[in-house]
Structure 1
Amino acid sequence: MNVRQANLKMIKSFPGGKDALAVAMGMTIHAFDNRLYNRKGQDFTADEELQIQSFSGTTFFADAVASLSGGVFVELPDVSDIGNDELLEKWNALYAKVGEFSGKFSRAISDDVVDQRERQDLSAAGEGVNKLVQELLALTFRIYCKQHEKED
């Protein structure tokens, strides 16, 4: 996903859509559209993108930036009530995601060609596995690392 696609998804997620979001951002609809569609060399600043993301209650901008940077955005869970049972649930979810990925992988290469749709499916499934691994690591470190090691 690119930043424009992220913006459109964030707008769709905001109650009232583009007009309401423009007002929330303190912009006229014309100024908002100019930034959204890069008219006259205008664009949203990173701070504006983050504000739109916050207003929309999504992580689409972070997802786009991570993807464009060759990575994956991983939203870290709150660990205030996390223990071994929750870690076990993450492990089970990870096993299921790996199984899903394995099935998609096998189907994609069965004809010795990975087409565009299969590539997108594999990428999405791989990102799902990566996210769960990172969540599992983050939870493990937050729960079991000594306080001074958590800050490193």
Structure 2
Amino acid sequence: MINKKEMVNKTIADVTGGKEVVAAMLGMTVDSFNNHLYEKKGSRFFSVDELVEMADLNKTPFAAEYFADRIGCMVVERPQAAELDSVDMFDCHLQLNAIKGLLDKTIAEAKADGVFDACERKAITQLKQEYQATFEAFMLKLETLYTA
């Protein structure tokens, strides 16, 4: 799980002009932006509206992922209908099956000694989340491709 400062830094990383451009867009100086980011000089962290503005600037999912992760949810990108075809669906289905196979293998290996240690639990959790996100993306693509 990333912290809120990492989330902001990832969100602005690909913005041409970086922090200066984002600060200006929010009507702040770079110093004021940094004060908000690091909660210095009595400044509060960015508001949700400010985080949304940053995410909108370069269409990044990091703010959504940050909040979703905090409540045990996940973010899945919506497919673009124009980009979908049966080959894409086949590739997505292969990817889904590959992740499922790796998850099954990891679980089988972890339960061999009768106990899941912290490292095994972490690996299983990561693969489970990847599988769930890939499954959800597959279903969204399926619905998008075959909805009249």
TM-score by length of 2: 0.80
Query: What's the CA shift for 1:94?
Result: 0.2
Greater shift, 77-86 or 134-143, is seen at 77-86
Mapped contact 1:3–1:65 kept (Cα < 8 A): no
User: Cα distance, 1:23 vs. partner?
Assistant: 3.2
> Is the contact between residue 84 and residue 145 of structure 2 (CA under 8 Å) also seen in structure 1?
yes
The answer to whether the Cα contact below 8 Å between 2:96 and 2:134 also exists between their aligned partners in 1 is yes
What value does the CA root-mean-square deviation take over the aligned residues?
2.4
- 2:138 aligned partner, one-letter code: L
SS of the equivalent of 1:80 reads: helix
Residues 8-19 of structure 1 aligned to structure 2 (within 5 Å): 8-19=9-20
Distance 1:81 1:12 in 2: 26
Q: Which runs of 5+ in 1 are unaligned?
A: 147-152
Taking structure 1 as reference, are residues 4 and 103 closer, same or farther at Cα in structure 2, changes over 3 Å only?
farther
Q: Indicate the residue corresponding to 1:33 in structure 2.
A: 34
2:62 matched residue in structure 1: 60
The answer for the alignment partner of 2:5 in structure 1 is 4
Does the C-alpha gap of structure 1 residues 110 and 7 become closer, same or farther in structure 2, counting only changes over 3 Å?
farther
Tell me: CA distance 1:64–1:119, structure 2 relative to 1, closer, same or farther (3 Å): farther
Question: How far is the alpha carbon of 1:93 from its aligned partner?
Answer: 0.8
Q: 1:44 to 1:15 in 2, by over 3 A?
A: same
Corresponding position of 2:143: 141
Which digits, 9 at most, give the CA deviation of each residue in 1:29-75, with x for residues without a partner? 22212221233251212121122223344211111111112111001
Partners of 1:91 and 1:69 lie apart in 2 by 28
**Rounded Cα–Cα distance in structure 2 between residues aligned with 1:118 and 1:26:** 46
**What is the CA–CA distance in structure 1 between the aligned matches of 2:39 and 2:121, rounded to whole Å?**
30
State how 1:2-151 maps to structure 2 within 5 Å: 2-39=3-40, 40-111=42-113, 112-115=115-118, 117-146=119-148
Structure 2: 5+ residue runs without aligned partners?
Answer: none
Q: Which residue identity is paired with 1:127?
A: Q
- CA distance 1:91–1:44, change in 2 (3 Å): same
Task: Compute the TM-score of the two structures, normalised by the length of structure 1.
Answer: 0.78
What amino acid is the match of 1:9? K
Aligned-pair identity (%): 23
Q: Name the count of aligned residue pairs.
A: 145
